[in-house]
Amino acid sequence: MVVDDSAVVRGLICRQIDAEPDLCVVASASNGEMALASLRRHPADVVVLDIEMPIMDGLAALPLILAEWPHVKVIIASSLTRRNTAVSMRALQLGASDCVGKPEAGNNNYTTEDFNRDLIARVRALGAAAKESAVRSPPAKSAPPPLRAPASPGAGLKPEIVAIGGSTGAPPVLIRLFESLKGRVTQPIVLTQHMPPVFTALLAEQLARAGGRPCAEGRDGEAIEPGRAYIAPGGWHMLVERHGGQPVIRLNQDPPENFCRPAVDPLFRSLAQAYGRGVLAIVLTGMGCDGARGCEAIAKAGGRFAVQDEATSAVWGMPGAAAKTGLAERVLPVTGLAQYIAQVTETGL
């Protein structure tokens, strides 16, 4: 279902989705109130929801949708203004599965083609997850036992840096992790989250508040310091290089990897080269396989990585792909990941 007060935007999004052979739009609506009524007549797996609408806006409709249809996945689609992005981030905390930014004229970092690609990929991945959650029996939701890979060369050593990669469903998980790790991790944290410009800046602000540590978008040439967190800016790959022994951030606009920019793999590969055994990497919920090859590079260099488990992931694409390498040290729920990161960074064990 597509919910947007603009008939033009509704039409464009509906045509994009209906053009895919495995997807179809069951209904559309111009505000949240109409969406709720329409969902009762036309069940949907995914709702593409605008923020600013008359009568009932997206933020008001979201909790009502999730309360009546818990399996439905909601994708927030809003223009890339700071205000709308802030509201979209709030929607993620209220249970929305993901958000995409509507492109604006003059923004070459996020085009109409980017929007269409991102939206279709999310509708497809979240639609599959919604169907699975609708039929899943309660026992299947229990987390599998933690997995322990053979000890890596980095085991027993405190890591020098923590790296995190995530996509669909990861922002709320990141906030929970930063809250749980507040005051505990002294190492720098670098992270790549699949998000367009503006979103990554606001996510950094939220993580700074949640974790009580400075967190901002990385800047090209910026030195990496202990106790700080750096997030790849939307539209840019973020890497880490050493210059005279000092690790610094490098940004580039090389072609997307795994259809993403920023992508996790370039960051992880650069860390394997810059830190070797000193890397602890975490892969969070997200669609696709971004991060798996980077994790292999980290493990080959003697570093360590763990992934979020399927039961607590919105989409077990990225963590599942990394786990299937057979090199993950742990497969853990969100709370377990926080404990694992704290233990490894404090003791090396």
Per residue in 8-41, pLDDT (tens digit) is: 999 999 999 999 999 999 999 999 999 999 999 9
Per residue in 251-301, pLDDT (tens digit) is: 999 999 998 999 999 999 999 999 999 999 999 999 999 999 999 999 999
Shortest CA distance to 115 belongs to which of 265, 235, 26, 252? 235
Rounded to whole angstroms, the Cα distance separating 80 from 182 reads 30
Question: Are 84 and 196 within one domain?
Answer: no
215-217 β-sheet, strand order: 215-217, 229-231, 189-193, 161-166, 279-283, 304-308, 330-332
**Which CATH number belongs to the domain containing residue 292 in this structure?**
3.40.50.180
Question: Are 202 and 302 within one domain?
Answer: yes
Q: Which of 167, 180, 270, 313 is catalytic?
A: 167
Shortest CA distance to 265 belongs to which of 225, 322, 329, 215? 322
Taken in order 256, 261, 266, 270, the sign of the CA dihedral is positive
Rounded to whole angstroms, the Cα distance separating 178 from 171 reads 11
Q: Which of 4, 38, 50, 194 is catalytic?
A: 194
Question: Are 224 and 128 within one domain?
Answer: no
Question: Are 308 and 175 within one domain?
Answer: yes
Per residue in 104-130, pLDDT (tens digit) is: 766 666 688 888 988 999 999 999 888
Q: Which of 118, 290, 309, 313 is catalytic?
A: 290
Question: Are 123 and 194 within one domain?
Answer: no
Q: Is residue 153 part of a domain?
A: no
Concerning whether 71 is annotated as a catalytic residue, the answer is: no
Distance linking the first and last C-alpha atoms of the chain: 48
Question: Are 238 and 312 within one domain?
Answer: yes
Question: Are 180 and 125 within one domain?
Answer: no
Q: Please, are residues 73 and 46 in contact by the beta-carbon 8 Å criterion?
A: yes
Concerning whether 79 is annotated as a catalytic residue, the answer is: no
Concerning whether 114 is annotated as a catalytic residue, the answer is: no
Task: Collect all residues with Cβ–Cβ distance below 8 Å to 74 and sequence separation of at least 6.
Answer: 46, 47, 49, 62, 65, 66, 91, 95, 96, 97
- Both tokens of 207, joined, read 């993580």
Per residue in 85-105, pLDDT (tens digit) is: 899 999 998 999 999 988 776
Q: Name the domain count of the chain.
A: 2
- Indicate the pairing of strand 73-79 with strand 98-102: parallel
